[in-house]
Structure 1
Amino acid sequence: MSQDRLTRGEKSRITRLRRHLLDWYALEGRDFPWRSDRASAYERICVEVLLQRTRAETVAGIYPSFFGKFPSWTALAAASVEQLEDVIRPIGLWRRRAASIKALATYAAGRDGVFPAGEGELSQVPAVGQYLANAILLFGHGEARPLVDVNMARLLERYLRPRRLADIRHDPWLQEACHWLVVCDDPVRVNWAALDYAAKVCRSRYPGCADCKLRVRCNWGRGGGGWSIA
């Protein structure tokens, strides 16, 4: 079988991984305001822009002020870039984030907050790349889409095997593995569980293999970390 496709055995192992992540998340998952049942799709999509290259705890710090001032796509689109920069400044990269979220809000406000449901159309939306497109489909349209970042990639690669291509966006095996992980009744919770497990247990530096119940099934854990994965 091609190295670019999941094997039947890998699919079975990912299914077991999903069950473990959900059980673990129910007890150990982190609590952030955008994970509340009261959080809207608007809030969750905006947060994904703010979270890029920033710790979740840092974004949580500006969450009340950001959504207090900009409670909707319309309010966000009406704000000046300078106003956005002032609110976003504490989390860093404020100029780039302000420009991206302003462009996204302007598009959404002109369409009553409704984004396209197709990947091709989403690729034409300002500030939307693969990751944000998946976030829009996940939170805005209820599709089972993975939020593929270095954390989810690290978890799956350690558990199964390293990807072949350097860019996680274009590695077909990794993309299929991430999609298989979240295809279930609660893809949002699985995404959050994978992110939290990577942050708290399967860390980039000093992974908690000794306390990880997946170690007996994890290729990286059983091999003592035989290859380098960020």
Structure 2
Amino acid sequence: MIEIDQAKIDFFQNEILNWYSKFGRDFYWRKHNLTDFEYIIAEVLLQRTKAETVAKFYPSFISRFPDWQYIANASDNEIEDFLRPVGLYTQRAKRLKSLAKEMVKRDGKLPRDRQVLESIPFMGQYIANAVELVIFKQPSPLMDVNMSRVLERFFGERKLADIRYDPYLQELAYKVVAHPNSKKVNWAILDFAASVCQARKPKCNSCIFKARCSYYLNNESIFPTES
């Protein structure tokens, strides 16, 4: 287990929020006047899909399916056709319809009990975290491969292959987003992963964290000096 340095977490939070104030992305689902349904649909669509792709598609989806009942009443083929632009449409359509039927039964109300929440179709760890963060106003991490990459590069690598079950990474993520502006910390990390701390070609030489980043300091020799 790698010891988590609170001073380094504080530094990371301050720097990532400063960066976000200048370079953060502006998406429809980050506005404050969305319904619980609209927030959940955004997170469902964002799984394994680039945010920019979802941004182009999201308004038309919400217009066609404005609540759970519309999705529950739609045919599988209709949902698949609408989801085709964002990929994985067959799998997503079936799971989304199952989720919609369950939410109709629940009258659109989400349980606060974490175990019950994750038992709802299509929830799982990531969307349950998103529900806690955006709807219940709790500091939960939007943990996916992108957030994992940023945190591991700066703080140190996890031990287990599956990010959902690695105790170090999970504890680290919760500590990093434990902040009065938890939503912005989450969004900042995801935006930073997309534009700077990229998977294949990270922009390490111009990174705000390079002086204290474990990944950069351990691999500094492989990054050419920028002219």
Taking structure 2 as the reference length, what is the TM-score of the superposition? Answer: 0.92
Structure 2, unaligned stretches of length 5 or more?
223-227
Helix, strand or coil at the partner of 1:194 = helix
Write the letter of the residue equivalent to 1:214: F
Distance 1:151 1:48 in 2: 14
Distance 2:36 2:185 in 1: 17
Hey, what does 1:116 align to over in structure 2?
111
Write the letter of the residue equivalent to 2:112: A
Write the letter of the residue equivalent to 2:206: D
1:57 paired to 2:52: yes
Write the letter of the residue equivalent to 1:206: K
Hey, what does 1:165 align to over in structure 2?
160
Match of 1:78 among 45, 70, 73: 73
Structure 1 stretches of 4+ with a deviation exceeding 4 A read none
Helix, strand or coil at the partner of 1:107 = helix
Give the % identical residues.
43
1:184 paired to 2:179: yes
Bigger shift: 119-128 or 26-35?
Answer: 119-128
Distance 1:53 1:104 in 2: 18
Hey, what does 2:82 align to over in structure 1?
87
Q: Could you say if the C-alpha distance between residues 21 and 57 of structure 1 is closer, same or farther in structure 2, counting changes exceeding 3 Å?
A: same
Distance 2:125 2:106 in 1: 21
Helix, strand or coil at the partner of 1:117 = coil
* Alignment deviations for residues 82-122 of structure 1 (CA, whole Å, 9 cap, x no partner): 22111111111101111111111111122221111121111
Distance 2:109 2:130 in 1: 13
Helix, strand or coil at the partner of 1:223 = helix
Hey, what does 1:105 align to over in structure 2?
100
Q: Could you say if the C-alpha distance between residues 216 and 85 of structure 1 is closer, same or farther in structure 2, counting changes exceeding 3 Å?
A: same
* Alignment deviations for residues 172-191 of structure 1 (CA, whole Å, 9 cap, x no partner): 00000101111111221111
1:140 paired to 2:135: yes
Q: Could you say if the C-alpha distance between residues 22 and 99 of structure 1 is closer, same or farther in structure 2, counting changes exceeding 3 Å?
A: same
Distance 2:220 2:46 in 1: 28
Size of the aligned set, in residue pairs, is 222
Match of 1:46 among 29, 41, 48: 41
Match of 1:207 among 202, 206, 216: 202
1:175 paired to 2:170: yes
Write the letter of the residue equivalent to 1:224: N
Distance 1:41 1:184 in 2: 22
Q: Could you say if the C-alpha distance between residues 58 and 206 of structure 1 is closer, same or farther in structure 2, counting changes exceeding 3 Å?
A: same
Q: Could you say if the C-alpha distance between residues 19 and 41 of structure 1 is closer, same or farther in structure 2, counting changes exceeding 3 Å?
A: farther
Distance 1:20 1:167 in 2: 28
Hey, what does 1:15 align to over in structure 2?
10
Shift of 1:56: 1.0
Structure 1, unaligned stretches of length 5 or more?
none
Write the letter of the residue equivalent to 2:131: I
1:150 paired to 2:145: yes
Write the letter of the residue equivalent to 1:215: K
Hey, what does 2:31 align to over in structure 1?
36
Taking structure 1 as the reference length, what is the TM-score of the superposition? Answer: 0.91
Distance 2:220 2:78 in 1: 46
Write the letter of the residue equivalent to 1:49: V
